[in-house]
């Protein structure tokens, strides 16, 4: 039995578990905004998440995560901060931007309690404390997965799987899908997640993009609403 591999697999399970404290359960990635139009049906959820993965989270978050991961391996804090800044400014919705930095900083804080003496992890946290970095979630995940020696592509799958599950969880709580439907959707998203990781994890930071203008506008309206369950 390969003990090292087993330990890494445990880290993958631990960080991918919705029980891991990052606050992602409080975000719907635009789903609540869309559900309030009353036009959203359960059959649309798969398509909605696919669009998020292909148009937003894949080419932006996953790309930034891959770049951050490599920066950590090279112990290059300057490149890491570039990934942090690029992703932060790519998030157009203020609430989403803030929520992402809060989730990311808590992820770093939690992992630093058991991944001790890691210089790049410490340096990144110091940069956040000094206001030189934001701690945006995907970059923070790139940092901790690199520090824990989790393979990069698996780290990419953890990121996109986690974000997809958080949207399905939101759909469940909004009453759009029921629990078995939710699991079926997660299962069917497997190839979409895999493809989005392979397509984006090694993308140069300069080619990072995201494009979902209708959803952006809907979310901007949603974040101003006084009655809502989710961070937009």
Partner 1 sequence: MGSRVPRVGIGGPVGSGKTMLIEQIVPILSTKGYKVSIISNDVISKEDAQRMRQNLATDKGLMPEELVIGVATGGCPHTAVREDPSINLSVVEELESKYPFLDLILIESGGDNITTTFSPALADYFIYIIDVTGGDKYPRKRGLGIENCDLLVINKIDIAPYVGADLKIMERDAKIVRGSKPTLFVNSKTGKGVNTVVSFIIKDVLFDALPKSVNSKEIE
Q: Write the Ramachandran bin of 3: left for phi over 0, alpha for psi from -120 to 50, otherwise beta.
A: alpha
Closest CA to 28 of 132, 210, 163, 134: 163
Give CA separation, 15 vs 24, 37, 38, in Å.
Answer: 12, 34, 34
Cβ nearer to partner 1, comparing 11 with 103: 103
Asked if 172 and 178 count as a contact pair (C-beta separation under 8 A), the reply is yes
Asked if 53 and 164 count as a contact pair (C-beta separation under 8 A), the reply is yes
Residue 49 CB, nearest approach to partner 1 (Å):
16
Cβ nearer to partner 1, comparing 22 with 86: 22
Give the whole-angstrom CA distance, residue 232 versus residue 227.
Answer: 11
Q: Contact residues for partner 1 (CB under 8 A)?
A: 19, 21-23, 25-28, 99, 101-103, 105-107, 110, 129, 169-170, 173, 226-231
Q: Please tell me what DSSP assigns to residue 27.
A: B
Residue 94 CB, nearest approach to partner 1 (Å):
13
Cβ nearer to partner 1, comparing 63 with 232: 232
Cβ nearer to partner 1, comparing 67 with 230: 230
Residue 211 CB, nearest approach to partner 1 (Å):
26
Residue 26 CB, nearest approach to partner 1 (Å):
4
């Amino acid at each position: 039995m390969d003990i090292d591999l087993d330990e890494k697999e445990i880290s993958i399970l631990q960080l991918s578990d919705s029980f891991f404290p990052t606050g992602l359960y409080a975000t719907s990635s635009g789903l609540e905004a869309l559900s309030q139009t009353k036009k959203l049906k359960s059959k649309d959820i798969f398509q909605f998440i696919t669009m998020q993965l292909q148009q937003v989270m894949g080419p932006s978050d996953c790309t930034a995560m891959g770049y951050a991961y490599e920066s950590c391996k090279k112990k290059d804090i300057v490149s890491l901060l570039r990934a942090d800044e690029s992703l932060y400014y790519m998030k157009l919705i203020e609430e989403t931007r803030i929520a992402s930095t809060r989730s990311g900083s808590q992820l770093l804080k939690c992992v630093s309690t058991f991944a001790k003496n890691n210089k790049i992890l410490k340096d990144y946290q110091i940069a956040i404390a000094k206001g030189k970095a934001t701690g945006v979630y995907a970059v923070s995940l790139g940092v901790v997965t690199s520090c824990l020696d989790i393979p990069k592509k698996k780290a990419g799958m953890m990121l996109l799987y986690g974000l997809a599950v958080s949207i399905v969880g939101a759909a469940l709580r909004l009453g759009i899908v029921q629990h078995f439907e939710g699991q079926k959707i997660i299962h069917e998203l497997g190839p979409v997640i895999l493809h989005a990781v392979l397509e984006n994890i090694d993308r140069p930071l300069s080619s990072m993009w995201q494009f979902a203008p209708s959803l952006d506008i809907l979310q901007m309206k949603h974040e101003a609403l006084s009655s809502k369950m989710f961070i937009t």
